Amino acid sequence: MNFIPAQSIISGYAENDFWFGNNYNMNIYKGCCHGCIYCDSRSECYKVDNFDEVRAKENALIIIERELMSKRKKGVIGTGAMSDPYNPFEKKYCLTKGALEIINRAGFGVSISTKSSLITRDIDILKEISSHSPVLINITITTANDELCKKIEPNVSVSSERFDAIKKLADNGIFTGVLLMPILPFINDTIENIGNIIDSAKASGAGFIYPAFGVTLRQNQREWYYKKLDESFPSLKEKYIKYFGNSYECSSFNSSKLWEFFKNKCDKAGIIYKMKDIIHTYKEKYQTVQISLF
């Protein structure tokens, strides 16, 4: 893994950010080697050259500590939107772990998105952060079938391992749920798949599931996706071209049916799925404590 220069790693403050209530964003790594066939971060607009090569930002922990010490407002730091913070190199370099230790000392909260079971290594630090600030963990799961998972997300923990990670996190009192996206038209957009994911999420103690029944395609991301469809799902590319053309949003033709099924099954299982409810649930008790202090 190579290291690249960086001037800044923590973004500026955003009030009440809709995406899981993040107030700041943090990306220590650039690029990703998970090889997911649908990854939007490959898009040209993000200007990540050699996307499959993971690089880390030089002096990341020094920069993060300096930046957090200068922040006037406490808040939740989100990570994982662009590059998975638990890529295979994290096991050796522990940069995400080091950042969590700094976040804990500085009194901030954290919101993490990942596809890796390696996150369970940091349960103790996450518990410490949750003692004073909000903590939310998103585990992306797109299929309940490990064999299909290997086709669409080839270099990452299979779905069953991710459900095990959710259980370990939830058993330790960490608010954890499923990021159910993308759901790929003609591949995993079935009632059976959605039902199995909800059942496994419930059994694992997931607190929420946030879905999107479709996939976005643009620029070189579309080229990569079509190349992978040819390799693993012969003739499916032609179906995408026929029905979606150059559309950015490629919604499942089953989306309405899937949404109704999803909503009803989650309601019966007691699993929340609306963004405002997810944000409220994991932040509520900390806001109550802050109010009581005054």
Looking at residue 293, its pLDDT comes to 44
Residue 176 sits at φ, ψ, to 5 deg, of: -135, 145
CATH code, 87: 3.20.20.70
Looking at residue 16, its pLDDT comes to 67
Instruction: Please list the residues that pair with 26 across neighbouring strands.
Output: 10, 79
Mean pLDDT of 126-152: 97
Q: How confident is the model at residue 213 (pLDDT cuts 50, 70, 90)?
A: very high
Strands of 176-180's sheet in order across: 24-26, 76-79, 109-114, 135-140, 176-180, 209-211
CA–CA dist 214, 91 (Å, integer): 32
Angle at alpha carbon of residue 142, lines to 134 and 130, rounded to 5°: 10
Report the domain count for the chain: 1
Mean pLDDT of 18-39: 94
Per-residue pLDDT for 90 more than 90?
yes
Task: Kindly state the DSSP code that residue 182 receives in the 8-state scheme.
Answer: P
Q: How confident is the model at residue 294 (pLDDT cuts 50, 70, 90)?
A: very low
Residue type, 270: G
Domain of 138 in residue numbering reads as 2-293
Mean pLDDT of 152-180: 97
Contact between residue 99 and residue 26 where contact means Cβ atoms under 8 Å apart: yes
Q: How confident is the model at residue 18 (pLDDT cuts 50, 70, 90)?
A: confident
Considering only CA atoms, which of 124, 153, 150, 120 is closest in space to residue 137?
120
CA–CA dist 203, 36 (Å, integer): 26
Q: What is the pTM of this model?
A: 0.94
Contact between residue 203 and residue 141 where contact means Cβ atoms under 8 Å apart: no
Mean pLDDT of 71-86: 94
Mean pLDDT of 42-50: 82
Mean pLDDT of 259-264: 98
Per-residue pLDDT for 199 more than 70?
yes
Contact between residue 22 and residue 78 where contact means Cβ atoms under 8 Å apart: yes
Q: What is the pLDDT of residues 244-258, one digit of tens each?
A: 999 999 999 999 999
